[in-house]
Structure 1
Amino acid sequence: MTTASVKGIFSERSIRRARLGSGLVIFVFVLLHLSNHALGLISLASADKARHLFLVLWRNPIGTALFYGSVLIHIALVLRAIYIRRSLVMPKGEMAQIVLGLLIPLLLMDHVIGTRVAHELYGYIDDYETVVEQLWIRASANGVRQVLGVLAVWIHGCIGIHFWLRYRPWYAEWSALLLAPAILIPVLSLLGFVQMGRTLADPAYQLTTNPYEVNLNARYLSDPEVRSRVATVRAGLYGAFSASLLLVVIARARRKLKERLDQVVVHYPGGEVIRVPRGFTVLEASRLGGLPHYAVCGGKGQCSTCRVQILGDYQYLPPPDKLEQTTLKRINAGPDVRLACQLRPNADLAVAPLLVPSVEAPPANSQETSPGREREIVVFFVDIRHFTTLTETRLPFDVVFLLNRYFAIIGKAVEQAGGRLDKFIGDGAMALFGLDTAPEEACRQALNAAAAIVAEIEKLAAELADELTLPLRIAIGIHTGPAVVGTMGYGRVRSMTAIGDTVNVASRLESAAKEFEAAIVISEPVADLSGAALSGIESREINVRGRALPLKVYVIPREKAAEPLEGKA
């Protein structure tokens, strides 16, 4: 987990950006390198021609400094991240990324020494013909090791890219498309390597070999002094990496011995009591104790899914740093709410996780489970006015018939407008817009759905006018803002839904529509984002429970509600 942020260039945010930036440079290098290998499927000559372009980019002073500087920075920051983790209990994805990252130097260091280092120091010609011959014909065991190294570095990089992009609104839609190149690039690269190896193994190809390159490289391979120097370089690099890793292990062991003498106790609502060394985060305490605790961003303070409520006096706790303050401010958290991944208690405390994950396994054929993340969405509530009076004299089957007709209108209008029907609540319904679109488009979709519903309800009311004691009228409330969207429920009753202040406000607007005898009430943010033409539409300010300031809303009467408002401003 992260430590408290430090101001300046060495703040946690700056360090994470440096780790991300260096990782992206390495990933681009690997992407181009593997793409170059894939050209071996065409011919060995094609791969070598592309290799010259690759070397122009990376074997110059700037490219060399950028790449190897990124490698050193990335390794150093990974080792630092391992050290500052108070616990090695972590999700499988994070564990896989760390293990693969530590294996990469061990798997690929010999390849770097045998190509770039040998070329720079001794003029070794490390073209595809030479390298593939060594890995395919002369030392096939090293070829297998190289294949494992390629897979390790690619999977490690893809996990890092996934962790970086998974909070972007567009990523869920594009992730399936990105998966195709993520699989194809290493596969094509390895197939290119195999094809080049088969070409070199063909006796007919040996007749075309350049004798100058063969003799030059043969002198390099057979010279005892050169081989001794290369062995020294190899021992130095392996020794430096091993010593660095050993130093991290020793530092962690030393810290653990000191921490055993200084511990705090974290109490949970279920009666669980977990004792951890002072300096651990609450999230680390949960993981050490085996308690389910959401942390969608991996404990980096970039989401609020791990937040906890402090049960008791919270003033004595260490104040939140800038990163935590920013996240808490975005969700309008109270002073007793903290991020479990950032809070390092200095004394015993009791906490209650606010997003409690389900501990049961998801049932077969259930919806994909999403732990929830904050998104900008539009929430839409609709309800029938005076429903009890309308149905008190009707037979139960007649009520079911009416509701099914009403629900069909709601569902069709929401889906055609591009929204997602969330749930039916008695005679009301809740819908979400903006799960796959920008907030501006989501607001316009919600207004279109509202207009369509009002128009269809008018038709249904005219059809059933002789059977109903009161005219059939509905009330709609629409609001936009941040909400936590994820899969919630129990057992087989699980569905994607949203929770948060935005949902509560939208529900309050639907109630306000009933109070104002109006068809639709929309909040000012919805009106602004949609670009709706609201000339002649009454505006009011209403008080919403939990909000300090009144909220400006637009009250749309039934006479104008069936006319689409979006796009007229």
Structure 2
Amino acid sequence: MAALSRDQITTSLRGISLRQIRLATGVILFAYLVSHFLNHALGNISLEALESGVQIHMAFWQFLPVTILFYAACVVHTALGIWALYERRQFRWKAIEPLQLALGLSIPMMIIAHVIGIRLGQTLYGHERHYPQILFLYWIWAPWRIPMMFAVMTIAWVHGCIGLYLWLRMRAFFKRPAPFLLAAAVLIPTLSMLGFYQSGRMVIDSDSTEWRAETQSERQIGTRAEAQTLDRITDYFLFGYFGLIGIALVARGVRAVNERRRGMINLSYGNGRTVRVPKGLSVLEASLRNNVPHASVCGGRARCSTCRIRIIGDCSGLPEPSQREAFVLGRVGTSDPSIRLACQLRPPADLSFFQLFLPHTISADGHDSHPTRIGQERYLVSLFVDMRGSTQLAEKRLPFDTVFIVNRFLGAVSQAVLESGGMPNQFVGDGMLALFGLSTSRQNACRQALRAAAMIAANVDALNKFLEHDLREPIRFGIGINGGEVIVGDIGYRDHMVFTALGDPVNVAARLQDMTKSLACEAVISDEVRATAGLAADALPHHDVEIRGRNETMIVRTVEDARILSALVDEQQSAAA
């Protein structure tokens, strides 16, 4: 168990890249932004509500561990933004990505004076600048700062929303909450700006000699000398930040010159097209630079595998996959050294390859009218069912009669799947693959598959009675049910695309269906499906079986009469209720 835990930890660490760190720090900063904006929105009520809200806001964000985490996220996220400016060689992505980068890089220069004036002033001089002091500064002393404040609020919010959208758009659950998230993305900053405006008007109305003496003392806002010191610190930070951006831009130029000096390489796409690019570009960057269509759902972030290419010829001279690339390739189950991610591979010499996902099948931005069909990883339950004896049936009947019977069988099976909440997916001869869990939970998907198996048995019994005068022996069948993480998406070519699931769990379900012959039963169910559905451990006989293509044995459950599965599921649900 300890070794397994270490392996799991190692695998998880291999999956962490700079993009994952940037995402984690961005989420922390966005959480602070949401908290801050909601606090501003209280200004629509009263100044007292605004002050009460800021006390709660500060109590959380100035708690020492949270403060350390927050400022670490600020530094790391800013540094990674500058690194992204240097690292990105190609800016011909969709406009949303360079826009996000530009907005992100502009935020520190716009808020540094605000942060130093409030947070550093409190740390160094004990200033007590809360909303009365800040609102006085913006609405009475320096109203020209108000447009700047609204601009930085908009920029920071748009930058964060773009980042969250690029992260969540590939998630299976995103389609359902997307309208609500859009509403929140519009309402929160709108209410925040309205709250800031309303509270500012309240300060203007409250402005008097007594009010200024109470809220604008030197203890609260500091002396002129202290303000000048904070201004100089702000200037130093700005100069340093501009210097870092300048260094990144100069480094880009130096790198471009060095790459040209190191020479050019040829990339051949396997379809007769060849481009000549400097050494150091990734294959995906080379494609974008030369306007060669190349599939990349995640935009070159190594979050998907749609930019995969297969190397033609010797690949021993290529650089080893990075940790992130190895992690992604491992997730899709490939150990072939000739298969690489185009967004990560930077060939040092001429290279020939072909794309595994054609760009007309999956567009570069990964979105069309069916966003769930671009390729996603999710948990599904696969049910394979096969009709027994169809070959012998065809030998003794007219072709049309055989097709009629097979179609009636597949119709009975499909009806059971649909009524149970599943989706008939592929028809192969007299067999069918059905999928469960496309729009429901794991537990419910497993229960739906078990109910479908029971209903298949009942429907086939009814079909046998209907055809008893035409059949020498009743129709028999075998069912295999297994669940697990699979890749779902459109597979095929041009107008011949089929939505299906790919992965080891699907293959195992087919193997379990074959085992019904040797185990003399109607259905074989993986123990994982049994446990997820909530059936008792002793509800069905269990067997340790060997699965072709797997090194370890697998625990399965056999069902001699599939019709009992519906009663077992009902019994479990009644006990749970």
Shared fold per TM-score greater than 0.5: yes
Question: Could you say what secondary structure the match of 1:211 adopts?
Answer: helix
Match of 1:352 in 2: 354
Match of 1:253 in 2: 253
TM-score (norm 2): 0.79
**Residue-by-residue CA offset, 1:272-297 (whole Å, 9 max, x unaligned):** 32333333333333333334444445
Aligned residue runs from structure 1 range 284-363, under 5 A: 284-335=285-336, 336-358=338-360
Match of 2:163 in 1: 160
Contact 2:113 2:231 in 1 (8 A): no
TM-score (norm 1): 0.80
Give the C-alpha shift of residue 259 in structure 1: 0.6
Match of 2:90 in 1: 87
Q: Number of matched residues?
A: 551
Q: Which moved more, 1:80-89 or 1:45-54?
A: 80-89
Write the distance in 2 (CA, Å) between the matches of 1:212 and 1:278: 67
Write the distance in 2 (CA, Å) between the matches of 1:447 and 1:12: 35
Contact 2:454 2:562 in 1 (8 A): yes
Pick from 368, 393, 399: which aligns with 2:398?
393
Amino acid aligned to 2:237: L
Change (3 A) 1:62 1:427: closer
Match of 2:562 in 1: 561
Q: Which moved more, 1:246-255 or 1:547-556?
A: 547-556
Amino acid aligned to 2:207: Q
Give the C-alpha shift of residue 245 in structure 1: 0.7
Amino acid aligned to 1:247: I
Write the distance in 2 (CA, Å) between the matches of 1:13 and 1:553: 33
Match of 1:3 in 2: none
Contact 2:490 2:498 in 1 (8 A): yes
Q: Which moved more, 1:248-257 or 1:89-98?
A: 89-98
Give the C-alpha shift of residue 253 in structure 1: 0.8
Contact 1:385 1:514 in 2 (8 A): no
Pick from 148, 153, 157: which aligns with 1:150?
153
Q: Which moved more, 1:254-263 or 1:428-437?
A: 428-437
Contact 1:360 1:491 in 2 (8 A): no
Contact 2:362 2:374 in 1 (8 A): no
Match of 1:19 in 2: 22
Change (3 A) 1:136 1:395: farther
Question: Could you say what secondary structure the match of 2:272 adopts?
Answer: coil
Aligned residue runs from structure 1 range 363-374, under 5 A: 366-374=369-377
Match of 1:54 in 2: 57
Change (3 A) 1:270 1:499: farther
Change (3 A) 1:365 1:301: closer
Write the distance in 1 (CA, Å) between the matches of 2:295 and 2:553: 32
**Residue-by-residue CA offset, 1:366-418 (whole Å, 9 max, x unaligned):** 4335421333422223344455746953768x967983x65554344334434
Give the C-alpha shift of residue 183 in structure 1: 3.6
Contact 2:17 2:324 in 1 (8 A): no
Change (3 A) 1:319 1:490: closer
Give the C-alpha shift of residue 76 in structure 1: 1.2
Write the distance in 2 (CA, Å) between the matches of 1:195 and 1:412: 60
Write the distance in 2 (CA, Å) between the matches of 1:208 and 1:422: 77
Match of 2:3 in 1: none
Q: Which moved more, 1:478-487 or 1:297-306?
A: 297-306
Give the C-alpha shift of residue 22 in structure 1: 3.3
Cα root mean square deviation, aligned: 4.2
Contact 1:523 1:553 in 2 (8 A): yes
Write the distance in 1 (CA, Å) between the matches of 2:220 and 2:449: 75
Change (3 A) 1:372 1:63: closer
Pick from 73, 84, 90: which aligns with 2:76?
73
Question: Could you say what secondary structure the match of 1:485 adopts?
Answer: strand
Q: Indicate yes or no: 2:241 matched with 1:238.
A: no
Amino acid aligned to 2:115: V
Write the distance in 2 (CA, Å) between the matches of 1:520 and 1:230: 75
Write the distance in 2 (CA, Å) between the matches of 1:200 and 1:401: 82
Match of 2:266 in 1: 265
Write the distance in 2 (CA, Å) between the matches of 1:277 and 1:181: 45
Write the distance in 2 (CA, Å) between the matches of 1:12 and 1:407: 42
Give the C-alpha shift of residue 421 in structure 1: 3.2
Change (3 A) 1:509 1:59: closer
Aligned residue runs from structure 1 range 401-480, under 5 A: 403=407, 406=409, 409-424=412-427, 427-436=430-439, 439=442, 442-468=445-471, 471-480=474-483
Give the C-alpha shift of residue 101 in structure 1: 0.6
Write the distance in 2 (CA, Å) between the matches of 1:365 and 1:143: 40
Aligned residue runs from structure 1 range 534-545, under 5 A: 535-536=540-541, 541=546, 543=548
Amino acid aligned to 1:345: P
Write the distance in 1 (CA, Å) between the matches of 2:144 and 2:499: 49
Q: Which moved more, 1:29-38 or 1:116-125?
A: 116-125
Contact 2:486 2:502 in 1 (8 A): yes
Change (3 A) 1:384 1:69: closer
Contact 1:539 1:552 in 2 (8 A): yes
Write the distance in 2 (CA, Å) between the matches of 1:51 and 1:540: 62
Give the C-alpha shift of residue 171 in structure 1: 5.5
Give the C-alpha shift of residue 505 in structure 1: 4.4
Q: Indicate yes or no: 2:25 matched with 1:42.
A: no
Change (3 A) 1:365 1:312: closer
Q: Which moved more, 1:243-252 or 1:207-216?
A: 207-216
**Residue-by-residue CA offset, 1:235-284 (whole Å, 9 max, x unaligned):** 32322221111110100110011111333332223333233333333333
Structure 1, unpaired ranges of 5+: 1-6
Question: Could you say what secondary structure the match of 1:261 adopts?
Answer: helix
Question: Could you say what secondary structure the match of 2:474 adopts?
Answer: coil
Q: Which moved more, 1:151-160 or 1:405-414?
A: 405-414
Pick from 105, 129, 133: which aligns with 1:102?
105
Give the C-alpha shift of residue 43 in structure 1: 0.8
Change (3 A) 1:551 1:22: closer
**Residue-by-residue CA offset, 1:205-241 (whole Å, 9 max, x unaligned):** 3359613146537997995x56654543343232222
